[in-house]
A and B are shown apart, each in its own frame.
Chain A
Amino acid sequence: MTPSERHDAEDAAEVVAPFVTLHQQQHAARLGMWLFLASEAMMFGSLIVIAWLYRLTHPQGVAEAVERLNYLLAAGNTLALLTSSLLMSLALVACKHGQGRQALGYLLGAACLGGVFLACKGLEYTLEYQEGLLPGFGLTSPLQQPSARLFMNLYFVATALHGVHLLVAIGLVLAVAWRLRSTQLARGRLQTQLEMTALYWHLVDAIWLLLFPTLYLIGR
């Protein structure tokens, strides 16, 4: 068996019904994932449209709320998430070159940075809770204008939903890492799984890149 024949045989073993070729299977996985990402984008897109609409209709109230948000912590978080996306890309490259150990390291690094993000977000929520800024927890809000509280409500829903997505993404990364731990060489399905997880991770990152200016920065 020549190396290329061996690769073909391994590829064939990776193909599951209803697919006939590995190419077809990977195409379907990619397409399916992109469609799912499109639906996620529509979901967060709605939230962002709401935020922009309220920015137009209640500029002063929104400015009062934005003033109170902790943009430095959020900026640090943006940095953490961007770096984690870089690590995900590096993990994918390492995996394609058959460097399973390195890929594992990058994946764990990305998951850690995701954890850092969530920890910082938790810290932010705690600080906001102590100031009475968080909606629905009984403390009197220091915000003067009703529309400022409206914007805080939206901020809380949007960031919490994003946090849940990040939590899922971390879970997926850890699951792929767990499968990768025993194999030096990741091919076929595992590589596809890693690629799909990376796509999802980048989406969660990209959503944050839109949420960050929409919620924290514009109008400071």
Chain B
Amino acid sequence: MSSPSYLDAQGLRSWFLTHDHKRIAVLYIITVTFFFFAGGLAASLIRIELVTPEGDLLTADGYNRAFTLHGVIMVWFFLIPSIPSVFGNFLVPIMIGARDMAFPRLNLLSWYLLLGGGLFTLLALLLGGVDTGWTFYTPLSTMFSNGHVVAVICGVFIAGFSSILTGINIIATVHTLRAPGMTWMRLPLFIWSMYATSVILVLATPVLAITLLLVAAEHLFNIGVFDPNLGGDPLLFQHLFWFYSHPAVYIMILPAMGVVSELITAAAHKRIFGYEFVAWSSVAIAIIGFLVWGHHMFVAGQSMYASLVFSLLSFLVAIPSAIKAYNWSATLYKSDLTLHAPFLFALTFIGLFIIGGVTGLFLALLAADLHAHDTYFVVAHFHYIMVGAAVAGYFGALHFWWPKITGRLYSALWGKITAVLIFCGFNLTFFPQFLLGYLGMPRRYHSYAPDLQFLNVMSSAGASILALAYVLPFFYLLASLRWGERAPMNPWEAAGLEWRVPSPPPAHNFQSPVTVDFEAYDYTEQARRDPL
């Protein structure tokens, strides 16, 4: 390799004051991995508690604090920043032929905000914690909760700015820094999904910010805007909260969808089926995603007519989602498939996403939701999307781009074993929860009726497999840094600009300015193309 890689510079300053999008991505990997394990520990506590019907490991209040810690950390400090901040940072500039993100200093600031907000939140959650759940519903959070509500809100508020700045950065980068010839319809689909995600980050996060600010003002100074004593409307809080938090689910799943589009084409060695449809379906999901928040309040006293409209709009999300799933499948048809580890993660994603998506339709149906609302059916549904699918997408991305990021190859066999374990462990953990919810087991209780124990034990057993599968990569990926073979430029024989620069890439990504004269996923030409 003629020019030094981005990893060559030594010393703490070269990391903590870096403006290089690739180094910032590495900082993010370390950060979100830490929060993933912190949130995972709380999940383990929950599943161990639920092995027996009695509340024996945790008190009722301790259980509330455990699932709040789990939810807050996983949602805001792992799932939301995971793919956009790690892989969005690393890949967006390289995929569009740019040297860096549009605002490199802002990019570094985003990381500090996430880290600071996250550590602050974690500290508050450990030193006493919060019993409100990650949703902070009023009036519980404002008038009755005696945990560190305001401290946790502050942490989330700070992390929100990290989201907004990352979103602004990605949109501005895609608009202004595309290489000559890189038209919108030549962008990799990962870029389309990052773009759609960023629009949600920029427009939805400020609504959460102001809502949490109002909760904090009410909790701290008794300046209540939702206070029912004054005629304030707690349902209004739910509207504002879900106006952010429903689109937030798409912040988690859209990037994973973009990753899967990359993994599927790389495994099939062929152009994706229906590029335009997959690209625009990301935009469609982002737009429709803003109009469905009311389906969280079907039983909360919302107007029936509002519920009808929200139900219909929620069904509409299925259309662009199905377009993606069908087009991925169609891409595989008659292709020259390679069954490598990232591809198995992509299949895991598709399988879990379809189960999570279809059960979402049950919940969008007003009559069915009446029965399943606030039960484990809901818990299972959203975990299939936010955890099963989104984390499979994150791990798929990690396995696919690891050789590019680190310059090392990991054990292919362990990668495949992990993908299969995640699929099996996940289904064993969460499928029983659909049945539990259907049988009427409510969410957020540390004890339950004894006849539900069998399914709960199954779920906890699955969780132990899942925990193992989530921890495994930590070891073999780290081991690859020391003992792994050096990665070639293009280990998967994949198309895309990132596979035409050395692994790891040089500090400025490209030796000379790039000009793009080929389409996305150009597998016919790609084999003959030279390194850039």
Question: Is the beta-carbon distance between B177 and A18 smaller than 8 angstroms?
Answer: yes
Whether B130 sits at the interface, judged by CB under 8 Å, is: no
Question: Is the beta-carbon distance between B224 and A150 smaller than 8 angstroms?
Answer: yes
Whether A220 sits at the interface, judged by CB under 8 Å, is: no
| Nearest opposing residue in chain B for A145, CB measure | B231
Question: Is the beta-carbon distance between A32 and B172 smaller than 8 angstroms?
Answer: yes
Contact with B176, one of A17, A27, A36 (Cβ below 8 angstroms): A27
Contact with B103, one of A27, A32, A153 (Cβ below 8 angstroms): A32
Q: Which residues of B contact A47 (CB under 8 A)?
A: 210
Question: Is the beta-carbon distance between B102 and A18 smaller than 8 angstroms?
Answer: yes
Q: Which residues of B contact A70 (CB under 8 A)?
A: none
Contact with A136, one of B204, B222, B233, B240 (Cβ below 8 angstroms): B222
Q: Kindly identify, within residues 227 to 241 of chain B, every residue whose CB is under 8 Å from any CB belonging to chain A.
A: 227, 229-233, 236, 240
Whether A28 sits at the interface, judged by CB under 8 Å, is: yes
Contact with A135, one of B98, B103, B207, B222 (Cβ below 8 angstroms): B222
Segment of B116-124, B163-171, B186-194, B481-489 engaged in the interface with chain A: B163-171
Given A18-B102, A58-B231, answer yes or no on A39-B223 (Cβ-Cβ < 8 Å): no
Given A39-B206, A42-B203, A150-B232, answer yes or no on A31-B225 (Cβ-Cβ < 8 Å): no
Q: Nearest-CB distance from A162 to chain B (Å)?
A: 12
Contact with A31, one of B93, B172, B227, B236 (Cβ below 8 angstroms): B172
| Chain A positions 54 through 83: 1 when the CB is less than 8 Å from some CB of chain B, otherwise 0 | 100110010000000000000000000000
CA distance A19 to B179 in the complex (A): 11
Whether A46 sits at the interface, judged by CB under 8 Å, is: yes
Given A46-B240, A136-B223, answer yes or no on A35-B171 (Cβ-Cβ < 8 Å): yes
Q: Which residues of A contact B243 (CB under 8 A)?
A: 46
| Nearest opposing residue in chain B for A58, CB measure | B231
Interface centre among A17, A31, A39, A147 (most CB of B within 10 A): A39
Given A18-B100, A28-B172, A153-B230, answer yes or no on A43-B513 (Cβ-Cβ < 8 Å): no
Q: Nearest-CB distance from B231 to chain A (Å)?
A: 4
Whether B138 sits at the interface, judged by CB under 8 Å, is: no
Given A28-B102, A31-B175, A61-B231, answer yes or no on A39-B164 (Cβ-Cβ < 8 Å): yes
| Chain B positions 395 through 410: 1 when the CB is less than 8 Å from some CB of chain A, otherwise 0 | 0000000000000000
CA distance A39 to B243 in the complex (A): 14
Whether A146 sits at the interface, judged by CB under 8 Å, is: yes
Q: Nearest-CB distance from A47 to chain B (Å)?
A: 6
Given A35-B168, A35-B202, A38-B202, answer yes or no on A46-B210 (Cβ-Cβ < 8 Å): yes
Q: Nearest-CB distance from A205 to chain B (Å)?
A: 19
Whether B456 sits at the interface, judged by CB under 8 Å, is: no
Q: Nearest-CB distance from A172 to chain B (Å)?
A: 15
Whether A209 sits at the interface, judged by CB under 8 Å, is: no
CA distance A54 to B301 in the complex (A): 17
Question: Is the beta-carbon distance between A43 and B172 smaller than 8 angstroms?
Answer: no
Whether B48 sits at the interface, judged by CB under 8 Å, is: no
Whether B38 sits at the interface, judged by CB under 8 Å, is: no
Whether B209 sits at the interface, judged by CB under 8 Å, is: yes
| Nearest opposing residue in chain A for B211, CB measure | A46
Q: Nearest-CB distance from A135 to chain B (Å)?
A: 5
Whether A140 sits at the interface, judged by CB under 8 Å, is: no
Question: Is the beta-carbon distance between B236 and A39 smaller than 8 angstroms?
Answer: no
Whether A9 sits at the interface, judged by CB under 8 Å, is: no
| Nearest opposing residue in chain B for A16, CB measure | B104
| Nearest opposing residue in chain B for A40, CB measure | B206
Given A42-B206, A150-B227, answer yes or no on A53-B175 (Cβ-Cβ < 8 Å): no
Whether A154 sits at the interface, judged by CB under 8 Å, is: yes
| Nearest opposing residue in chain B for A36, CB measure | B168
Q: Which residues of A contact B231 (CB under 8 A)?
A: 54, 57-58, 61, 146-147, 150
Whether B249 sits at the interface, judged by CB under 8 Å, is: no
- Interface size, B (range): 35 or more
Q: Kindly identify, within residues 112 to 166 of chain A, every residue whose CB is under 8 Å from any CB belonging to chain B.
A: 135-136, 146-147, 149-150, 153-154, 156-157, 161
Contact with A28, one of B103, B217, B222, B230 (Cβ below 8 angstroms): B103
Question: Is the beta-carbon distance between B223 and A38 smaller than 8 angstroms?
Answer: no
Q: Which residues of A contact B223 (CB under 8 A)?
A: 135-136, 153, 156-157
Whether B205 sits at the interface, judged by CB under 8 Å, is: yes
Whether B221 sits at the interface, judged by CB under 8 Å, is: yes
Contact with B205, one of A39, A57, A154 (Cβ below 8 angstroms): A39
Question: Is the beta-carbon distance between B230 and A149 smaller than 8 angstroms?
Answer: yes
Question: Is the beta-carbon distance between B236 and A53 smaller than 8 angstroms?
Answer: yes
Whether A175 sits at the interface, judged by CB under 8 Å, is: no
Q: Kindly identify, within residues 496 to 526 of chain B, every residue whose CB is under 8 Å from any CB belonging to chain A.
A: 508, 513
Q: Nearest-CB distance from A108 to chain B (Å)?
A: 28
Whether A50 sits at the interface, judged by CB under 8 Å, is: yes
Q: Nearest-CB distance from B483 to chain A (Å)?
A: 35
Whether A24 sits at the interface, judged by CB under 8 Å, is: yes
| Nearest opposing residue in chain B for A147, CB measure | B231
| Nearest opposing residue in chain A for B203, CB measure | A42
CA distance A17 to B303 in the complex (A): 53
Whether B299 sits at the interface, judged by CB under 8 Å, is: no
Q: Which residues of A contact B210 (CB under 8 A)?
A: 43-44, 46-47, 161
CA distance A211 to B214 in the complex (A): 17
Whether B99 sits at the interface, judged by CB under 8 Å, is: yes
List of 5 A-B pairs having minimum Cβ-Cβ separation, nearest first:
A43-B206, A18-B100, A18-B99, A150-B230, A147-B231
- Chosen A-B contacts, 5 in total, with CB atoms closer than 8 Å, are A18-B98, A31-B171, A38-B202, A50-B240, A150-B224
Chain B residues at the A interface, C-beta cutoff of 8 Å: 93, 98-104, 106, 164, 167-169, 171-173, 175-177, 202-207, 209-211, 213-214, 217, 221-225, 227, 229-233, 236, 240, 243, 508, 513
Chain A residues at the B interface, C-beta cutoff of 8 Å: 17-20, 24, 27-28, 31-32, 35-36, 38-40, 42-44, 46-47, 50, 53-54, 57-58, 61, 135-136, 146-147, 149-150, 153-154, 156-157, 161
